[in-house]
């Protein structure tokens, strides 16, 4: 529709919009990506075939298939049993057991989706913490890191590897083999586990050392609601005279009276029957305040006091998973009580102060719920894939029909792909067909297992590859990197190493603040362009490997990788914890990658 220069300007504006919206989470990631693609289509930067190309992309199909195969494997309970067996048979030494645990997590993360691996191993990590009387803060972040660098072991370990491999193939540079990353990935695992043990032993804080997870969470403040009853001693008193913060550690967010909402000058507020307090309070004081002050504790649906106080209920904490159908909904919209026979008493969100009624809060990935559940319904809650219940697991194999097929299908896919009998995409599709035909997993479970946010995000971003090449944006951005590289080269150094280092650096910086899949898609064409700009043009594979590793190894922020978010709440981490221990690891991996990539993927001239 417009000339190439105008199209380039449009694309750069859309890039700026994407990065801003991704960093500040203005909209859901996939909505932002689809909007960007729609703008490019509207202004003629890409055509309709380009815009839809992501939905037929082999990487997208492979990622979707691997989600299903991962869920089929997880469903058997084999991974929990296997991990428990391993670390129960390595002796009773604490650090040997933890080392073995992290090694198992890393290896399994190379076979299945690493967010699924972390979902499985968070409760197992808590179990280890209880066994050795150490704080979960010391183990959950190393667990996330182990899953992240474990994903670099194989082609299917992380979506960025598949995306880059497919893009290489489309550009005529071949594709990665299933175990192409394993040599360098193994070095990452070795260094990473040693680093994890050091930070767990000496640097990560012990914010709570407890005998049970529920006791641990008693120190954490949740958002909840109290209603003043007729017999409450609070009636007629002013908030400022009660010393509630001193006696119960309560932070009053607001007070609701009928249709009125009060949030300022609360100390002079005189309390009446029926007033509703929206507060932040820890679990121990929550129960104490309810009993002392004769107030009702409200959940998303009112429950009677017999249900609340009965001995047949247990209090558990659960994290909302990345693929949860709760995301974007309130508890009322989800109909939590009817579906799961449980009550949500309170909600905890990592860094955001919640100011709405519990029933009105739109839930997000990694929110922690405080749930009151009947003892006989606990297993139902634990088996629900929308939540990770933070409690010791009942470890056993679930002998459903053809359960063993689910265990062997992923290794078989990898072996057949390594032997070049089938491609990884063909093998993944065949594997899904097998588990569906043998009913190892139902079609409904298959649909639910797919992380549609990731699928739509990647499918919507893949057209940007074509837009970057068509508009010459690869050359424009590549020249900026090249000019800076030339400046650094003037101080000495090889062009190849400087280009490689800069590309890895840009990748891990961007990946700390936005989707690593988006970073890989944007930088892949630039990597190919830079390979052609060296004094002697080379095969771009070393540069594309650097993008794969840089995008995958994101340790510096909780938003840099989904697994970091998953451990943020149960580990009681702060933003500075990730920067404090994640930044050095990122720099170490950068150094290691720049040393090893030229060895295993040397600069091969292209004439």
pLDDT given at position 391: 61
pLDDT given at position 9: 92
Does residue 204 have a pLDDT over 60?
yes
Residue 254 half-sphere exposure toward CB, CA atoms < 13 A: 14
384-401 pLDDT tens trace: 888 888 764 444 555 566
Ramachandran quadrant class, 572 (left: phi over 0; alpha: psi -120 to 50; beta: rest): left
User: Quick check: is 560 in a domain?
Assistant: no
CA-based angle 472:477:478, to the nearest 5?
A: 90
Does residue 80 have a pLDDT over 80?
no
DSSP string, 385-443: TTEEE-S---------TTHHHHHHHHHHHHHHHHTTSS-HHHHHHHHHHHHHHTTSS-H
User: Quick check: is 143 in a domain?
Assistant: yes
User: Quick check: is 101 in a domain?
Assistant: yes
User: Quick check: is 131 in a domain?
Assistant: yes
Closest to 287 (Cα-Cα) out of 336, 237, 218, 234 = 218
Look up residue 499 and give its two tokens.
């280009």
User: Quick check: is 260 in a domain?
Assistant: no
User: Quick check: is 425 in a domain?
Assistant: yes
Question: What's the mean pLDDT in 53-67?
Answer: 92
The parent domain of residue 170 ranges over: 63-211+404-451
Using 50, 70 and 90 to split pLDDT, how confident is the model at 420? confident
Highest mean pLDDT among 189-203, 348-362, 475-489: 189-203
Lowest mean pLDDT among 30-44, 440-454, 465-479, 586-600: 440-454
Q: Which residues, other chains included, contact 577 with Cβ-Cβ below 8 Å and sequence gap of 6+?
A: 141, 204, 205
Look up residue 317 and give its two tokens.
């904490």
| Phi (first) and psi of residue 93, to 5 degrees | -70, 130
Instruction: Determine the distance from the C-alpha atom of residue 26 to the mean position of all C-alpha atoms in its chain, rounded to a whole number.
Output: 18
- Portion of the chain with pLDDT greater than 90, in percent: 40
Per-residue HEC secondary structure of 30-63 comes to: HHHHHHHHHHHHHCCCCCHHHHHHHHHCHHHHHH
Question: What's the mean pLDDT in 328-343?
Answer: 84
User: Quick check: is 184 in a domain?
Assistant: yes
User: Quick check: is 151 in a domain?
Assistant: yes
453-496 pLDDT tens trace: 889 999 999 999 999 999 999 999 999 998 999 888 888 778 99
Using 50, 70 and 90 to split pLDDT, how confident is the model at 426? very high
Pairing of strands 276-282, 221-228: antiparallel
Question: What's the mean pLDDT in 64-84?
Answer: 82
| Phi (first) and psi of residue 328, to 5 degrees | 85, 0
Does residue 146 have a pLDDT over 80?
yes
pLDDT given at position 399: 53
| Count of domains for the chain | 1
Using 50, 70 and 90 to split pLDDT, how confident is the model at 371? confident
């Amino acid at each position: 529709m417009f000339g190439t220069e105008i199209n380039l300007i449009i694309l750069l504006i859309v890039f700026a919009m994407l990065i801003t919206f991704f960093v500040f989470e203005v909209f859901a990631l996939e909505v932002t990506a689809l909007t960007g693609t729609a703008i490019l289509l509207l202004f003629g930067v890409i055509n309709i075939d380009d815009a839809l190309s992501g939905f037929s992309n082999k990487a997208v199909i492979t990622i979707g298939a691997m989600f299903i195969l991962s869920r089929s494997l997880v469903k058997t309970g084999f991974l929990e049993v296997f991990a428990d067996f391993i670390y129960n048979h390595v002796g009773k030494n604490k650090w040997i057991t933890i080392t073995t645990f992290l090694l198992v997590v890393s290896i399994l993360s190379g076979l299945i989706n690493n967010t699924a691996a972390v979902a499985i191993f968070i409760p197992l990590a808590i179990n280890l913490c209880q066994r050795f009387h150490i704080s979960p803060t010391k183990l959950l972040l190393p667990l996330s890191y182990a899953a992240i660098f474990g994903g670099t072991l194989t082609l299917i370990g992380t979506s960025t590897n598949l995306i880059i491999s497919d893009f290489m193939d489309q550009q005529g540079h071949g594709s990665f083999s299933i175990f192409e990353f394993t040599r360098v990935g193994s070095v990452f695992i070795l260094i990473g586990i040693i680093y994890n043990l050091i930070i767990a032993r000496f640097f990560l804080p012990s914010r709570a050392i407890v005998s049970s997870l529920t006791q641990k969470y008693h120190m954490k403040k949740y958002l909840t609601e109290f209603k003043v009853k007729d017999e409450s001693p609070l009636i007629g008193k002013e908030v400022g005279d009660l010393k509630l913060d001193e006696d119960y550690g309560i932070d009053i967010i607001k007070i609701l009276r009928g249709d009125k909402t009060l949030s300022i000058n609360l100390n002079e507020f005189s309390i009446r029957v029926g007033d509703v307090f929206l507060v932040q309070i820890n679990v121990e004081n929550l129960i104490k305040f309810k009993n002392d002050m004769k107030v009702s504790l409200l959940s998303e649906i009112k429950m009677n006091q017999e249900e609340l106080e009965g001995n047949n209920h247990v209090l558990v904490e659960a994290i909302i998973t990345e693929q949860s159908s709760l995301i974007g909904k309130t508890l009322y919209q989800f109909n939590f009580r009817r579906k799961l026979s449980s009550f949500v008493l309170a909600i905890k969100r990592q860094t955001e102060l919640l100011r709405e009624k519990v029933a009105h809060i739109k839930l997000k990935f990694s929110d922690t719920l405080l749930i009151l559940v009947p003892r006989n319904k606990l297993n139902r809650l634990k088996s629900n894939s929308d939540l990770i219940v933070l409690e010791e697991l009942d470890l056993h194999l679930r002998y459903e029909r053809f359960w063993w097929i689910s265990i062997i299908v992923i290794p078989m896919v990898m072996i057949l792909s390594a032997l070049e009998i089938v491609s990884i995409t063909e093998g993944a599709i065949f594997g899904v067909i097998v588990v569906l035909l043998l009913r190892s997993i139902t079609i409904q479970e298959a649909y639910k297992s797919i992380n549609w946010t990731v699928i739509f995000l990647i499918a919507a971003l893949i057209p940007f590859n074509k837009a970057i090449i068509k508009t010459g944006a690869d050359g424009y951005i590549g020249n900026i990197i090249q000019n800076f590289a030339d400046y650094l080269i003037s101080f000495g150094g090889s062009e190849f190493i400087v280009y490689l280092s800069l590309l890895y650096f840009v990748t891990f910086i961007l990946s700390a603040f936005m989707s690593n899949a988006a970073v890989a898609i944007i930088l892949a064409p630039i990597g190919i362009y830079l390979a052609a700009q060296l004094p002697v043009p080379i095969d771009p594979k070393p540069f594309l490997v650097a993008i794969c590793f840089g995008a995958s190894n994101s340790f510096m922020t909780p938003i840099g990788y989904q697994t970091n978010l998953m451990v943020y709440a149960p580990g009681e981490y702060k933003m500075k914890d990730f920067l404090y221990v994640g930044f050095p690891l990122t720099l170490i991996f950068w150094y290691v990658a720049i040393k090893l990539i030229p060895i295993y993927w040397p600069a091969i001239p292209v004439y």
